Structure 1
Amino acid sequence: MARDVDGVDYSSSSSGSTKRWKYHVFLSFRGEDTRKNFTDHLYAALKRKGLRTFRDEEELERGESINPSLVQATEKSRSVIIVFSPNYASSTWCLDELQKILQLKEETSLQVFPILYGVNPSDVRKQKGSFADAFIRHEERFAEDKIKVQKWRDALQKVASLSGWDSKDR
């Protein structure tokens, strides 16, 4: 069993092989909502605790294809913190990333921790408020691919059932 300096096991045995985690935490968030405030503070706090944390602007190299890099970073992470904010669901990028995160959670030992930042749990679970507005636009834009939109809805419902935190509770 491999242990990091904090004594926590960051390896996982799967199919007889050992996987070493590159990151303790992968941060998933809607940049325009939280990058320069909540997520910056969360990232700094995690680093102060000695946790190797992936956040896209810190780890991606210029010119690198973002989507494959984010998928790879997620696969190399022990846990994911998803920051749900008012415009989270308006981003197809965030919704695709969320689907991948939940897929990895089912297939591996990935731990997922949601944080609600300026949204109610029912907004996420039932796609109400700004989430409802976003899905009206997605249904129009992806009228030919209703399955894609339904998968996003299902992913939000599933992650909303996980135990997490509300940023109002600090």
Structure 2
Amino acid sequence: MASSSLSLVIPLKEKHEFQEKYHVFLSFRGEDTRNIFASYLYEALCANQILTFMDDHELERGDEISPTLRKAIQESKISIIIFSKNYASSTWCLDELVHILECKKKFGQTVVPIFYGIDPSVVRKQNGSYEVAFAQLEQPFKAKDGMEKVKQWRAALTEASNLCGLD
């Protein structure tokens, strides 16, 4: 990965309730990319003095994962979403994605999707591995009348896949 300088000027849509702590928040499916692409990206960003949140590097023992991740997303200038084959099979990833897009709307956070080994149209249309993942995810939510959450995840995937990103 070539070294480059990252300069950010991000207009905020409303007062940010958290002080920005990170330049970048990485959202990814660990089993697909943690030990390959995500780790290399994290190391390259850090080597260029870009403060980056990656869950296994920043979480401390005893931290509750969900509130810690939500706060880290809110304290970041940019969120990079690494869409991979199994990203949609993780409710953690999908919840992160929804919160990232909320921060984009509310605070003007920059969101950059990366399509790692997956076509953007698979994410956008939720077919292929994403269709399989949603078939499995929907079952427990149908029983609990929680299909609104599933609709929210689907809308977030479509919105994020329509953003200008990297393939």
Specify if TM > 0.5: yes
Relative contact order higher in (CA < 8 Å, ≥ 6 apart) = 2
Matched, 1:114 2:113: yes
What CA deviation, in whole Å up to 9, does each residue of 1:31-50 have, x standing for no partner? 11100000011111111111
Q: More strand by proportion, 1 or 2?
A: 1
* Two-structure CA RMSD over aligned residues (Å): 2.1
Matched with 2:157 is 156
1:12–1:20: 8 Å Cα contact kept in structure 2?
no
**Which letter maps to 2:130?**
F
Residue 15 (structure 1) shift: 5.4
Aligned-partner SS, 1:80? strand
Q: Against the structure 1 CA distance between its residues 40 and 145, is the aligned structure 2 distance closer, same or farther, given a 3 Å change threshold?
A: same
Aligned residue type for 1:140: Q
1:57 counterpart residue number: 56
Give 2:152's aligned amino acid: K
Measure, in 2, the Cα distance between the counterparts of 1:125 and 1:17: 29
Matches of 2:15 and 2:64, distance apart in 1:
31
CA contact (8 A) 1:125 1:161 kept: yes
Aligned residues: 161
Alpha-carbon distance change, 10 to 145 in structure 1, aligned in 2, over 3 angstroms: same
Counterpart in the other structure of 2:83: 84
C-alpha contact (below 8 Å) 1:25/1:51 kept by paired residues: yes
| Alpha-carbon distance in 2 for matches of 1:53, 1:145 | 33
Equivalent residues of 2:14, 2:107 under 8 A apart: no
SS in 1 for 2:44: helix
Q: 2:116 aligned with 1:145, yes or no?
A: no
Give the superposition deviation at 1:117. Answer: 0.7
Alignment partner, residue 3 of structure 1: none
Which residues in structure 2 correspond to 1:41-56 (within 5 Å)?
Answer: 41-56=40-55
Higher mean Cα deviation, 13-22 or 77-86? 13-22
Task: For 1:93, give the aligned amino acid.
Answer: W
Partner residue, 2:92: 93
Q: Which moved more, 1:14-23 or 1:46-55?
A: 14-23
CA gap of 1:76–1:165, structure 2 versus 1, over 3 A, is: same
TM-score normalized with structure 2 length: 0.89
Percent of aligned pairs with the same amino acid: 48
Task: Tell me the TM-score normalised to structure 1 length.
Answer: 0.88
Residue identity matched to 1:162: L
Establish whether residue 26 from structure 1 lines up as the match of residue 21 from structure 2: no
